[in-house]
Structure 1
Amino acid sequence: MSSVSTYTTRHFLGLKGVSAEEITSILDRAAYWEHNPSKVTNQLQGKFVSNLFFENSTRTRFSFELAQKRLGVDVLNFSAAESSVQKGESIYDTVRTLESMGIDAGVIRLKPNGVLQELAEKIKIPLINAGDGNNEHPTQALLDFYTMRKQFGSIKGLTVSIIGDILHSRVARSNLWGLIALGAKVQFCAPASMQAPELAEFAPYVTFEEALKADVVMMLRVQLERHDTGLLNSAEEYRAQYGLTVERASRMAAHAIIMHPAPVNRNVELDDELVEHEKSKIFTQIAHGVPIRMAVIERALS
């Protein structure tokens, strides 16, 4: 069995500042788990992990739970809608209470920015970021890297276009930091109202035509709930200007792939015919989420 690398911290909060060596170590370990024939192992039997989701999630939570159960972990699922948080209990008090009860780690998703970092400074058990505000979503980025590496053999030298609502996207940020560390070129494409100017020094904003020339075209979910804020006039207008249509996809390089963190708004950011097109790696990405999260959980508890 391959070894697990030693890290300076067992918290896993984001990819900003994380080295290529550490990212590669996680990807390598995920490859071990992907090819391990055992559906369930006793690797972490006797460990208790709580999934602390203060923001709604289906895909990420189920992926973490499958990863935990494959490792033999006892899982405690927490829903803010059914908890004392609705009665005014603070997020810190909730996590501290579960820590006091004896859980070994927490997988946490939060809406507000900055809270996760504050928790990590006060909580002794490892915390794993399952998405915090518009800050980071590191395990999503890791499964994206894993998908790219399997497709191309290496990430170094690739050009990756990330298209959509960069301003509010934690996926875009985690991908940016990790891809830069791994030696890829990142470029953004977004309407002016969805750009994050502070990221422009790390990745240029390009036209859609330029974005289509990349090795990887990564579409971001259009957050339709933000229509009321004036970011979007309509889903139809967004598709016309920034959606990956069948016609636009036909102009991509023969070797290039389409990615998306899911869920997909079909016929908005991506035409329906492209979701399961031969160029699309969307469901492959989803499948890679379990071994990636197994590697991250093991990292935290080993």
Structure 2
Amino acid sequence: MTTTMLKQRSLLGLKELSKEEIQSILDRAAFWEANPNKVEPVQQGKFVANMFFENSTRTRFSFEVAEKRLGTEVLNFSAAVSSVQKGESIYDTVRTLESMGIDAGVIRLKPIGVLAEIATQIKVPLINAGDGNNEHPTQALLDLYTMRKQFGELRGLTVTIIGDVMHSRVARSNFYALQKFGVNLRFCAPQNMRAADLDVSYISIEEALQSDVIMMLRVQLERHENGMIKSAEDYREQYGLTMERAKQIAPHAIIMHPAPINRNVEIDDELVEHPQSRIFTQMQNGVPIRMAVIERALG
């Protein structure tokens, strides 16, 4: 496969992707969502490896369902039970699977920059399922798809992302993608959770509630230990989407969250399945989005 073709079929991030390419993935996802057949074996005989060097439940299952619906042979690899424990490098693992004849790889890893480097050394298309706090492109694509389904189009929407922006790959992928569509994108975060690398404006939680889309980010509770947040209760009080705050949301607005959710921390329990919440709809939309992305990778 030529370098150009590899680049066109891989999905390492949305920063580099044009608006047209994003649009075509969303359109193809709509095709798959409308398809009544649970399995449409258009990619039969192709092998896809899910290489997860970082824990994941939803993303991994979502990719696996998407792959199986397309009729591919799925290889699941989890670092926790592999040679990576014995010190085999990420590159060696990917290279090993490539040499066994996989047609594409879905990869999630913690270290930033490693995926981009591996992609230049591997001859099969790679799909980024989340790398460090860099990007999570399929999550942002399903977010865009959810918004587009709700509002018809993205241009002119006011979207506010609330929470730990500094450590969020979801926030970054959404930042890169949404601005290509003429969205009024704003951020709301505690001072010590703002991202220095993103040129964005921050607003108060009160202002954030006056948006068409309110996207809550997961509070990484493991950051308690290093004092980034005082306590889960304190965070909820300052930045959580509480029942009280939800009363200020416009009737047409929607609530989103990439999950997993810390109920009663960044969002109150009763709001997770509130009529204005699209959290489980997002998860549902993840399958057709990933079908479109895998199909693109396999050509």
Q: Which residue matches 2:254?
A: 257
User: Structure 1: which 5+ runs fail to align?
Assistant: 1-5
Q: Distance in 2 between matches of 1:128 and 1:247?
A: 40
Q: Distance in 1 between matches of 2:49 and 2:228?
A: 36
1:238 aligns with 2:235: yes
Matching residue's letter, 1:143? L
Matching residue's letter, 2:61? F
Shift of 1:229: 1.4
Q: Distance in 2 between matches of 1:269 and 1:17?
A: 31
Q: Which residue matches 2:292?
A: 295
Matching residue's letter, 1:295? A
Q: Distance in 1 between matches of 2:96 and 2:7?
A: 26
Identical columns (%)? 72
1:214 aligns with 2:215: no
Shift of 1:8: 5.4
CA deviation string 1:7-40 (max 9, x = no partner): 9521100000311111110000000000101111
Contact 1:106 1:127 in 2 (8 A): yes
Aligned pair count? 295
State the secondary structure of the residue aligned to 1:233: coil
Matching residue's letter, 2:45? G
Q: Distance in 1 between matches of 2:221 and 2:170?
A: 17
Q: Which residue matches 2:196?
A: 197
CA deviation string 1:124-173 (max 9, x = no partner): 10000000000000000000000000000000111100000000000000
State the secondary structure of the residue aligned to 1:198: coil
Q: Which residue matches 1:10?
A: 9
Shift of 1:183: 1.3
Q: Which residue matches 1:109?
A: 108
Contact 2:7 2:125 in 1 (8 A): no
Q: Distance in 2 between matches of 1:264 and 1:278?
A: 17
TM-score w.r.t. structure 2 length? 0.97
State the secondary structure of the residue aligned to 2:8: coil
Matching residue's letter, 2:233? E
Q: Which residue matches 1:124?
A: 123
Q: Distance in 2 between matches of 1:7 and 1:129?
A: 14
User: Structure 2: which 5+ runs fail to align?
Assistant: none
Q: 1:79/1:8 Cα in 2 relative to 1: closer, same or farther (>3 Å)?
A: closer
Divergent runs of 4+, >6 A: none
CA deviation string 1:246-265 (max 9, x = no partner): 11111011211100001110
1:67 aligns with 2:90: no
